[in-house]
Chains A and B, each alone.
Chain A
Amino acid sequence: MNFRLAPRGPSTAAALALAAAAMLVPANVLPVLTTESSGGVRSDTIFSGAIELWREGMWPLAVIVCTASILIPLLKLAGLAWLLLGARPGSSAKSRRMTRIYAALDFIGRWSMLDVFLAAFLTGLVRFGEFSTVTPRAGIVAFAAAVVLTVLATRAFDPRTLWPAAALSPP
């Protein structure tokens, strides 16, 4: 279905990746959730939320949040940027390695919405009026946008550009 004869230029993927990179900034700087409970009001960015989890003794969860929400989006974009900019098809071993990286990027994409899922989940679940409310903030929107744009950029990237031009000519 998605098969295209002519390789698409890297322009689309690069544009989307750039947009995703821009969105990652507010996603990490702005608060993603505001929690109002009897203890008061607090707004958390992704990072401060992970720190708080760590302080509360929930280390595994803190590590998961840090990995899924900060590390993976960054690594994905970095990987994509490397494929787009630095990667020139050389030996077929190099092409194979880069294709494997691309496949990995494509695969993890669908798992990076953990935070958004969590926010949607909490917002729906924790609605006890006076006692406790969770409200999503601008950061989570930016985060979701960054993730979606990264997925689109990965999709728009044509892995055939990773191979020597000879491979593209019809048999």
Chain B
Amino acid sequence: MNLPKPKLSRAPAFPLVWVVPLIAVAIVGWMGFSELHDRGPEITIDFADGSGVEAGKTVLEYLGVSAGAVVSVELKPGLAGVAVRLRLKKRAAALANSGARFWIVHPEIGFSGVHGLDTLVTGVHLNVLPGGGPPARRFKGLDKPPVPDVVDEGRAFVLQSDRLGSLTTGAPVFYREFKVGEVEVSRLSDDSKAVLIRIHVDAPYVNLVRTNSRFWNAGGFSLKVSLFGGAQLRNTSLESLVAGGVAFATPDRGPLAPAAPDGGRFILAPEPGSDWIKWSPNIPIVAPEAAERPAPKGGILNELIK
């Protein structure tokens, strides 16, 4: 018998297996840390109506990107509305500053075109305009989207009309079917005999509005059918067909009237006069497209951008 000699070794004082739980604990710690690290603050928003908001499903979007998710939706004590608790992402923590305005985005047709159509499929989401104040934990939600902030140096004008038509906030203002502004807000006049509509015309186009400009409601379309004239369809653009809108023109006979001042008042006609559309005065403007982009040399693009 020639047996190999047994190899004897002492049991190590610290068995190598104990590295395994150490690694495990380290991994667990790291997992916990990274999970907590990605979390932003939790905020509560009070809404008068929470239709469509669901815990775990509804997200807060900012600039079209998810900035947090709804944790819970509860009725407030005394049935005084709905409290939506929201967990923000770490990077979106700055949205939890006082002055931030939150609202629920529902699918809408009529506000300057079609808005939030994706919410038809995905359910509603929340949207936010950040505020500049100190961090806060509780907010009051808006019932409807806020009036867009005026970001440029345009001018506001007030139109007076017999009826509102379909002119809601955000409806476009057209010049030659080119959008130059938006409807800001509308209200009944103090004597309730007219509707006052405030519009905003963007900065590069303010000179187009002269003191003698005429405004008309460009919303919808009219169809005139006569035996000999055939059918005549009048509409401005698909956008205004859906959302309504305001158009204006300035007479081109005689000397050009002075530019209308900020806050100038105009009558809003239900339809354009027969020759208004043909008016084409020469008013110099600086179109933003031309100012920002150097014109390419030659080619058809040149004609378009110029």
Contact = CB atoms under 8 A, between A and B. Distances in A.
Interface of A: 9, 11-12, 15-16, 18-20, 22-23, 25-26, 29-30, 38-42, 138, 142, 145, 149, 156
27 contacts: A9-B11, A9-B15, A11-B15, A11-B17, A12-B15, A12-B17, A15-B20, A15-B21, A16-B17, A19-B24, A20-B24, A22-B21, A22-B24, A22-B25, A23-B24, A23-B27, A23-B28, A26-B31, A26-B32, A38-B123, A39-B123, A40-B57, A40-B58, A41-B59, A41-B69, A42-B57, A149-B20
Nearest to B17: A15
Contacts of A19: 20-21, 23-25
A41 B65 CA distance: 13
Interface in B211-262: none
Nearest to B31: A26
A30 B122 contact: no
Size class of the B contact interface (CB-based, 8 Å)? 20 to 34
Contacts of A25: 28
B121 interface: yes
A124 B219 CA distance: 50
B42 interface: no
Contacts of B18: 11, 15
A72 to B, nearest CB: 20
Contacts of B59: 40-41
A84 B202 CA distance: 78
Nearest to B23: A19
A38 B121 contact: yes
B152 interface: no
A116 B34 CA distance: 22
Contact of A39 (B20, B31, B66, B122): B122
Interface of B: 11, 15, 17-18, 20-21, 23-25, 27-28, 31-32, 34-35, 54, 56-59, 66, 69, 121-123
Nearest to B70: A40
Given A9-B15, A23-B28, 11 more contacts: A9-B11, A22-B21, A22-B24, A25-B28, A26-B32, A38-B122, A39-B54, A41-B66, A41-B69, A42-B57, A145-B27
A26 B28 contact: yes
Nearest to B34: A138
A42 B54 CA distance: 11
A167 to B, nearest CB: 22
Contact of B31 (A16, A18, A142, A156): A142
A165 to B, nearest CB: 18
A40 B31 CA distance: 25
Pairs of residues from A and B, 8 with the lowest C-beta to C-beta distance, nearest first: A40-B57, A19-B24, A19-B21, A18-B21, A15-B17, A22-B24, A42-B56, A26-B31
